[in-house]
Every structure is written in structure tokens, then in C-alpha cells.
Homo-oligomer: A and B are copies of this chain.
Amino acid sequence: MKKRTEIASLGEFGLIKHLTENFDIKNKSSLKGIGDDAAVLEYNDALTLVTTDLLLEGVHFDLTYVPLKHLGYKSAIVNFSDVYAMNGQPKQITVSLGISKRFSVEDLDEFYSGLKLACDVYGVDLIGGDTSSSLTGLTISITCIGEGDQDKITYRSGAKETDLICVSGDFGAAYMGLQLLEREKKIYRGEKDFKPDFSGKEYLLERQLKPEARKDIVEILGKEGIVPTSMIDVSDGLSSELLHISKNSQVGCRIYEERIPIDYQTAVMAEQFNMSLVTAALNGGEDYELLFTVPLSYHDKISEIKGIKIIGHITKPELGNYLIGRDGGEVELKAQGWNSLSE
């Protein structure tokens, strides 16, 4: 009998590694392939960034509470975010859709209006795609192309001992927004005249339904002349992304619980749900904030930038990856981030 290895046994990152490790790079223009937020290509000394995301109904989004316009916006944003995470600028996207008969032209108009809004806000051109019928549900595949300067492109692999670990924005809010929407969906199922009450929780919903990519942070860093030593965007959870930087840079890290930026609404919601706030912030995911490292010498400069916070520092690899709790206790960081292949 043919051997059967379950995909879940490898996990997403293990699977990608397994499937792609035999592929070698043949073209000089393929500067950096698999293993970062985006691939880097070099044509005539110009660096091109390429990233792609596949979003499937029922796995990545639930149309019972996600409006199609928001879905269009978010689908674009998650790709832009990957390009910013390379310290680049998104410039073009291709959008492919698989559409079941359930959807009308008006539904797609909604989706495209969100897509257009994102393209307008971020200065990105829609340049192609593919449209097809599907047997079930909605399939969205977006590829984003961007550009970056040779001396500015930032990989996951450049963090050095004593570097400061910095983040933009705050964490856990998108995850709490998702919990809230899931709860209201369950209640809704049992009631006829249901009006969900989201007052005082608008920020959580916005973070889940209409996230932004941190173009502003990349621009500020550029203006201040700061090139991070490593950078990644936080889609799978702060903890998981930090471990990517540690692994790729062959370093360790220490971050401090008390320094992790968390919004007030996130904290209130975590208490209502009786969930660990730090777990939500570390492993919730979908924050689309930037996590990056800079040399220690930038401490004062970075500290002055609004919207960026220093949460820890890089160590020697043998010191491992730890969160220092408010009580001073150390907890090893684990990648418990959202992983659609290992449930």
C-alpha cells in the first residue's frame, strides 16, 4: 500500500520546506526565493518584491459577518503588508477569483470596491488576474509586486545580538474582534430579530475587518534614515513572527510583557471572555503590524518616534527566546500562532 503521511503532521512551515527543498535557483535575477515575507528579484539593478496569498472561504474568512467590501480591502492589505515588511513599496497586484453560483455581479462589485479603495489609499495598481467559476465558495488569490532599494530591503535574517526589538501599533485586537464576531454569530443563530451590540468595541472590529498595512512606519523609518536589521509583519502572531526572526538570524531574544502595546478595548474584552491577555497579544495574529530590529545605537532616535515601541532585545542564540513576565519570571516563546494546516 502507498504510504500516507498526513499533511497536518508537518505543519505549514514544515510542509513548505519539505515540498520546496529540492528546488534550486537557476536564474541570476532570483535574488531571494522562499523564506521571507516576499521574494526579491533583480532586473537591471532594480529590485522587485513578490508576495502571494491564498484566501479560502470557510478557512480564512466567514461571509456571515465579513462584508465583501471589507474582504476586498483586507485581501489587498495583507499582501501590501508583506511588501512593507521587506522595507519596500507595493506597486502592483494581480487578483484571481474562484466564484460559486451563489455570488452575483453586485457581490463582486462590493468586493472590488474594497479592493479599489485599498489600491487608491496605498497607491497600488491592479494589473491582472484570473476569474473562474468554482464548485463551492469564494477563492481569492492575490499576488503583490513591489519595489525596494538595494540598500534598504530588509530580510528576516539580519538581527544581531544587542539589537533592539521594536513593534508598531498594538497587539491582540484583531483576534479579540474575531472572538467577538464569532460569539455574536452563535447568538444570532438562535434569535430572529437579532441586533449585535458592538458599542465600545469598534476598535476591535475595525482591526479584524478593516486592518491597515504600516506604510506610515516604513515612510517614517525612511525619513529618519533608519534601516532595520531585520523585519517581518505580524500575521500569525507576535510570538511566531519573533521566532522566525530568531531562527533566520540565528539569534535569541528577550521581550518584556509590560512593554507589549495592548489597546484598552482588547484588555476589557479579554477580561469579559476570561482569556489571557498576553496570550491574545502574543498568539492572536492578524495584527498586520511591523516587528523589526535596529542596532542599539538607534535607541534614542527610535524612542522618539510615535507609534513605535521597543519591547525587548536580541541575544546570543544559546540564550533562547523568552518572554519576561511582569513578575520577572521567564516563559519560553512558542509558535502557537494561527496555522491553517495544523489543527
Interface on A for B, CB 8 Å cutoff? 2-7, 9-10, 12, 15-16, 18-20, 22-23, 25-27, 29-30, 32-34, 38-39, 41, 43-48, 50-54, 56-60, 91-92, 94, 96-99, 101, 103-106, 108-109, 112, 116, 119, 123-137, 139, 141, 143, 145, 147, 340-341, 343
A44 (CB) vs chain B CBs: closest residue: B46
- Residues in B with CB closer than 8 Å to A27 are 91-92, 123-125
Whether A135 pairs with B136 at a CB distance below 8 angstroms is yes
Whether A4 pairs with B34 at a CB distance below 8 angstroms is no
Bound-state CA distance A172–B255 (Å) is 63
The distance from the CB of A220 to the nearest CB of chain B, in whole angstroms, is 22
Given A30-B91, A30-B92, A56-B132: 11 more A-B contacts, CB < 8 Å: A7-B108, A19-B112, A41-B91, A50-B127, A50-B128, A53-B96, A53-B130, A59-B132, A132-B341, A135-B136, A141-B141
Q: Which residue among A25, A38, A54 has the maximum number of chain B CB atoms within 10 Å of its CB?
A: A54
Whether A52 pairs with B129 at a CB distance below 8 angstroms is yes
A39-B97 contact given A7-B103, A143-B143, CB 8 Å threshold: no
- Residues in B with CB closer than 8 Å to A60 are 132
A105 (CB) vs chain B CBs: closest residue: B5
The distance from the CB of A27 to the nearest CB of chain B, in whole angstroms, is 5
Bound-state CA distance A26–B123 (Å) is 6
- Residues in B with CB closer than 8 Å to A32 are 127
Whether B125 pairs with A23 at a CB distance below 8 angstroms is yes
- Residues in B with CB closer than 8 Å to A56 are 98, 132, 134-135, 139
Bound-state CA distance A139–B99 (Å) is 12
A36 (CB) vs chain B CBs: closest residue: B128
